Amino acid sequence: TVNTLSNVAISGGSVNGSPVGNVTASTGAFTTVTATSIQFGSGTVLSTYTESSYTGTVTGYSTAITKTIYYTKVGNIVVLETQEIAATSNATTKTITGAPASIQPATANKRFIANVSDNGGAYVPGMAIFNGGTWSIYKDLAGSAWTASGTAVIEDFHVSFTMA
């Protein structure tokens, strides 16, 4: 949202919810400007912007779990936010599946850190690997297997990465 514009050209966007073609304003005030890309001088698009979410299916727990995974994509950069997962473990592996191809990282097996607790233990840094639309979560940075009983917690985590 932009409240005041000076010497700005708006092309193919919307002003106050109404679509516009090419508008040039030497000075103006708008209550809302919605843009999906940023364009400078020569007409080259600097980036595109998307906010969305997907439903992640979680495995490794005794009950079926789905979580909404939120993401923002600006050009080829993705910022992703998960929700906390806490339930009774019934497997030594934990995954979250369902990420759309449009937000998968450029590098296979991209590694991140997530705060986790295995079988009611202390919270420690765990490893989260993102590959082909699936998150594999491990109970420590060494990639160790989870305990297949007790409470397993994967705290919400935020990550950012580049795409191809």
The pLDDT, as a whole number, for residue 107 is 85
CA 9-12-52 angle, to 5 degrees, is: 115
Number of residues in the chain: 164
Residue type at 117?
A: S
Residue 112, beta-bridge partner list: 128
> How would DSSP label each residue in 128-155?
EEEETTEEEEESSTT-PPPPSSSEEEE-
Cα separation of 114 and 146, whole Å? 14
pLDDT at residue 5 is higher than 50: no
pLDDT digits 0-9 by tens, 96-134: 999 999 999 888 899 999 999 999 999 999 999 999 999
**What is the three-class DSSP state of 43?**
coil
Residue with token string 């590959």: 131
Mean pLDDT for all residues in the chain: 83
Confidence of residue 29 (pLDDT cuts 50, 70, 90): low
Q: Using 50, 70 and 90 to split pLDDT, how confident is the model at 2?
A: very low
Q: What is the pLDDT of residues 49-104, one digit of tens each?
A: 899 999 999 999 999 999 999 999 998 899 999 999 999 999 999 999 999 999 99
Residue 153 confidence (pLDDT): 98
The structure's pTM equals 0.73
Q: Which of 57, 52, 77 has its CA nearest to residue 134?
A: 57
Residue 39 has a pLDDT of 59
- Residue 4 above 60 pLDDT? no
With pLDDT > 70 as the criterion, what percentage of the chain qualifies?
71
